[in-house]
Structure 1
Amino acid sequence: MTPLARFYVAATKSSPAIDFDPASNSMSMRGESYPENCSRFYEPVFQWLRHYLAYTGTQPMLLDLEIIYFNSSSSKTFMDLFDLLDAAAETGKPVTVRWHYHPENETAFECGEEFQEDVRHMTFELVPKTV
């Protein structure tokens, strides 16, 4: 398999900055997520991530998410993302997701708790953002 290139998408008003760096096995998504067509926006992310998971085997990976606001379509997409990562963790890949939230944003915290409850094999941390 060929080495993976870094995957980067700049943030817009309605979509997060996405930075997946295969050299460090770290990924981040930051900003708001309510793209007009959520499936179309996130499909390249899923394609890249599937390739990354196949390429890197059991190397540990870290995903930092700091999503300020997201709509219901994005919530479904995030759950699909966590399902993909949880399946990789079930096969032996150490996966850690850090869900960053502002302490005053109860909705973001509660959504993080719900996501955390739905995964079984990966580490899912709720991380309060320091002001």
Structure 2
Amino acid sequence: MENRLYIPATADTPEVDFDFDARRLRLRGESYPESAVAFYHDILQRTRAFLDGIQGDQVWVAMELRYFNSSSTKMLFNLVHDLHRAAQAGNHVHLDWFHDPEDDTILEFGQELAEDFSAIRFRIVPSAG
């Protein structure tokens, strides 16, 4: 398995920069693909394989999404659920959830994730302009 998953951003999909060797995973941009299941399928599979292969490691995640639609919400939930399972298994998962200070929807979704997945060390971060 390649140790990096990089997908450049498009008008309707986020940049995916998952450097598995460095234990750094980042999503950035907007997510409203025609098929969120198709877009996120390989991302979730590769991430699960990575997480299943680590123990007692630090993993740093940054989610910097300016917008995502309802079908992307389910995929993001699945991704965070997988990170939570890894944290429960003894890994130290740090997740920075960036949000526009004017966007209550993204802020509230991040807060809900932090509540639902308490094994992850969440940081809710207002993004700068």
Taking structure 2 as the reference length, the TM-score comes to 0.94
Match of 1:101 among 99, 102, 107: 99
Q: String of CA shifts for 1:6-28, please: whole Å, max 9, x gaps.
A: 11001011100000112321010
How many residues are matched?
129
1:61 to 56, 59, 62: 59
**2:40 counterpart (29, 32, 42):** 42
Question: In the alignment, residue 130 of structure 1 is paired with which amino acid?
Answer: A
State yes or no: 1:16 paired with 2:6: no
* Residue of structure 1 in register with 2:85 after alignment: 87
Give the Å deviation of 1:54: 2.3
Report the counterpart of residue 110 of structure 1 in structure 2: 108
Q: Aligned equivalents of 1:20 and 1:70: distance in 2?
A: 19
Counterpart selection for 1:78 from 69, 76, 79: 76
Which segment drifts farther, 38-47 or 49-58? 49-58
Percent identity between the aligned chains? 36
- Secondary structure at 2:30's aligned position in 1? strand
Structure 2, unaligned stretches of length 5 or more? none
Unaligned 5+ residue runs, structure 1?
A: none
What amino acid maps onto 1:26 in structure 2?
R
Alpha-carbon RMSD: 1.2
